[in-house]
Amino acid sequence: MSFQTDTIHAGVAPDKAYGAIMTPIYQSSTFVFEDIGKHRGFDYTRSGNPTRKALEDSLAALEGCSGAVAVTTGMAAIATVMHLFAAGDEIICTDDCYGGTARLLSTFAEHFNVCVHFINLRNIEDIGGYVNEKTRAIWIETPSNPLLNLVDIAAVTAFAKERGLLSIVDNTFLSPYLQQPFKLGADVVVHSTTKYLNGHSDVVGGAILSNDPDLDQKLKFLVNALGTCAQPFDCWLVLRGIKTLVPRMKEHERNARIIAEFLDSHPKVKRVFYPGLESHPQHDLAKRQQRGFGGMVSFELEGGQAEVEQVLRGTRIFALAESLGGVESLIEHPATMSHASMGSEHRLVAGITDSVIRLSVGIEDPEDLVADLRQALA
């Protein structure tokens, strides 16, 4: 089936009890056994739940892989995957990853002696210098947050494969509609389903995808052992969100392009970060490894704090809030919000100045969105 058909049907079959066309919410902690040692596929919701299974089957179909587990949040997905490693192991991670990922991986380094090297994965020739016999995995996130830098997934996974390392890709920013890491050689994909997959800013959730029977089993074991599984109602919400993933992503993308072009021509804007602009240094890579350019746009303003505050306070449709990927447009200031915990020094090295503003472009009428930004910038 095509991707779009799978968003509607994969994992979802009419319910066996009454033929309900929509997957019921099996809000039950436990399931009655038919006889001693005999149940109907589920015994306890931490180990498995029919609503969660429908979501997991849907996600596996969309990412094109064999295994999927739905967990409570994106961070729960990342924390669960980190349990694949043991004290003494080493991991290489992209240096401009999500702030929560950097914080969690650093905590693993501190508490569990898993050494993490944060490096710039855009310089593939540098990676070899960080690989030794203890190295186990490379953690990729692309596009990055908030500057929309890209990592060449196929090149990094090929490098990892040659050395027997696991490739893990955080695919949250584009969703499986716009980027398919397994086709580019990934072993594990993680998602914050909080973002585009659910798409309505009304749930926090996560998922771990894998494409190897051994790995699928290990990850299922860890989710059950750790108890990081997603709740039935949350799974139902994400499953509902996925049904409109394709039309939503098309609208996000159309609006983001219009806004990136508007900002690019605005005299008060110094620089626009959007992989869809030809001026983006990795525009060709974006065309090669992505189906589209996504709904996130960042830009650097001319001027200082006063100008930044004027824009952040001045928008009427774009709401001042963290997070992304919902149908409504959001504006935020990485230096004081999403990336505050990074520290100013690390931010400046990464190129995130205090004048950078990040937009999560929603699916409102693009003319209204442009007018909103125009008046806030005036």
Return the residues of window 135-154 that contact ligand PLP according to CB under 6 A: 141, 145
Degrees (nearest 5) of the Cα angle 83, 87, 96?
Answer: 65
Q: Which stretch binds ligand PLP (CB under 6 A): 56-64, 86-94, 169-177, 359-367?
A: 169-177
Q: Which residues contact 34 (CB under 8 A, 6 or more apart)?
A: 40
Does 282 interact with ligand PLP (rule: CB under 6 A)? no
CB of 121 to ligand PLP, least distance (A): 14
Smaller CB separation from ligand PLP, 193 or 211: 193
Residue 173 found at the interface with ligand PLP (CB under 6 A): yes
Q: Of the ranges 149-157, 189-197, 215-223, 232-240, which one interacts with ligand PLP (CB under 6 A)?
A: 189-197
Nearest-approach distance from CB 192 to ligand PLP, in angstroms = 3
The whole-angstrom separation of Cα 99 and Cα 106 is 11
Residue 208: closest CA among 90, 376, 52, 372 = 52
User: In the window 203-242, what residues touch ligand PLP (CB under 6 A)?
Assistant: 204, 206
Sheet with 135-141: strands ordered across: 67-71, 206-210, 188-192, 166-170, 135-141, 90-94, 115-119
Closest distance to ligand PLP from the beta carbon of 206 (Å): 5
Strand, coil or helix: what is 152?
Answer: coil
Cis peptide before 146 (omega within 30 of 0): yes
Rule CB under 6 A: is residue 75 a binding residue for ligand PLP? yes
How near is the Cβ of 132 to ligand PLP at its closest, in Å?
Answer: 27
Of residues 306-325, those binding ligand PLP (CB under 6 A) = none
Measured torsion, CA atoms of residues 307, 313, 318, 322, in degrees rounded to the nearest 10: 90
CB of 95 to ligand PLP, least distance (A): 14
Neighbours of 240 (CB within 10 A): 17
- Let me know how many helices (H) and strands (E) the chain has, helices first: 14, 12
- Binder to ligand PLP among 172, 210, 231, 360 (CB under 6 A)? 172
Measured from the CB atom, the residue of 75 and 350 that comes closer to ligand PLP is 75
Which listed residue (6, 89, 152, 170) is catalytic? 170
Contact call for residue 189 and ligand PLP (CB under 6 A): no
73 binds ligand PLP per the rule CB under 6 A = yes
Give yes or no: 98 in active site: yes
Give, in degrees to the nearest 5, the angle at Cα 351 between 349 and 353.
Answer: 110
Beta-carbon contacts of 247 under 8 Å, excluding residues fewer than 6 positions away, are none
Q: Identify the active-site residue in 6, 89, 96, 98.
A: 98
Distance in angstroms (rounded) separating the CA atoms of residues 259 and 254 = 9
* Residue 98 binds ligand PLP, judged by CB under 6 A: yes
Query: Rounded to the nearest 10 degrees, how much is the dihedral formed by the CA atoms of 149, 3, 46, 225?
Result: -50
**Minimum distance of ligand PLP from residue 144's CB (angstroms):** 8
Per CB under 6 A, 194 contacts ligand PLP:
yes
- Which positions ≥6 away from 174 have C-beta within 8 Å? 143, 196, 290, 292, 294
Please state the closest distance from residue 96 (CB atom) to ligand PLP, in A: 11
**What's the token pair of residue 110?**
């501190």
Nearer to ligand PLP, 50 or 206 (CB): 206
Strands 90-94 and 135-141: parallel
Binding-site size, ligand PLP (CB under 6 A): 16
Q: Is residue 334 close enough to count as binding ligand PLP by CB under 6 A?
A: no
Catalytic residue among 52, 195, 248, 257: 195
Token code pair at residue 269:
């804007």
Q: Does 170 bind ligand PLP (CB under 6 A)?
A: yes
Question: ∠ at Cα 210 (209, 213), nearest 5°?
Answer: 140
CB closer to ligand PLP, 58 vs 144: 144
Which parts of this chain interact with ligand PLP (CB under 6 A)?
73-75, 98, 100-101, 141, 145, 170, 172-173, 192, 194-195, 204, 206
Active site residues: 46, 98, 170, 195
